Amino acid sequence: MAEANLGGEPVMFWKNKGNFEEKSMEREDQDMEFSPDKAREEHAETREEREPATLLEMRVHFTIKDRSQIGRVALILAATTDDGEESHIRENIFGAGWKAVATEVGGLAGGLPQKVTRAVVGAALNSGVVEKRSNEMHALMHAALEATGGFMSPSMLEASVGAKIAIVRNDAWIAVAIVGDTAYHAVAHHERCGLGVMHI
């Protein structure tokens, strides 16, 4: 076994892992050989193994033919997994003359309704998706309440939650979509989503 220190992180690696008994004598000699380049290569391979590989990449084309289909648009925005995707979807939404914003929440499910309320109101007002008018705030809160109800069940109080919230609005409708993960234990997490749509 050889040890190298790359960037302050010790790297351990074995050479010739197979046929231990047959090659034990050779292995002792080979393990005494140290190559910094080999250590860097194996360190990079180990790092790549820890980083999740892309399992599936999808290019999807949606045609929205009616402004009441705003819920689909909100779900697509909430389902984005990186900033580039989110920006691209928002640009398409802005191109239609609609408004949109996305934000994130996390924590225990028992405190999620309050966090969703603060996140939705803050994001919608700060981005100009809604103005402080009773009809717009009323529609926003109803859509958020419906989305939260679809995302969570009352039995989830102690579950951990991480979610992305998208708010999309046109001249007649507002939609709030929540897409994320919930788990009672890290190895048992799974995705869920909720959607609320309200006429302004």
- Please provide the CATH number assigned to the domain covering 69-199: 3.40.1510.10
DSSP string, 150-175: HH--GGGTT-EEEEEEEEEE-SSEEE
Mean pLDDT of 29-53: 53
Per-residue b or e along 76-101, where b marks 16 or more CB atoms closer than 10 Å to that residue's CB: bbbbbeeeeebeebbebbeeeebbbb
3-state helix, strand and coil shares in percent for the chain, rounded to the nearest 5: 45, 25, 30
**CA nearest 140: which of 169, 165, 161?**
169
**Quick one: pLDDT at residue 20?**
37
**Quick one: pLDDT at residue 15?**
38
As a residue count, the chain comes to 200
**Quick one: pLDDT at residue 66?**
93
Cα(88)–Cα(195) distance, rounded to whole angstroms? 21
Domain locations in the chain? Answer: 2-50, 69-199
Question: How would you class 5 by CB atoms within 10 Å of its CB: exposed for 0-12, middle for 13-18, buried for 19 or more?
Answer: exposed
pLDDT in tens, 132-168: 999 999 999 999 999 999 998 777 778 889 999 999 9
Mean of all residue pLDDT scores within the chain: 80
Cα(180)–Cα(83) distance, rounded to whole angstroms? 16
In contact, 178 and 165? CB cutoff 8 Å: yes
Q: State pTM to two decimals.
A: 0.72
- 82-87 long-range Cβ contacts below 8 angstroms, 24+ apart: none
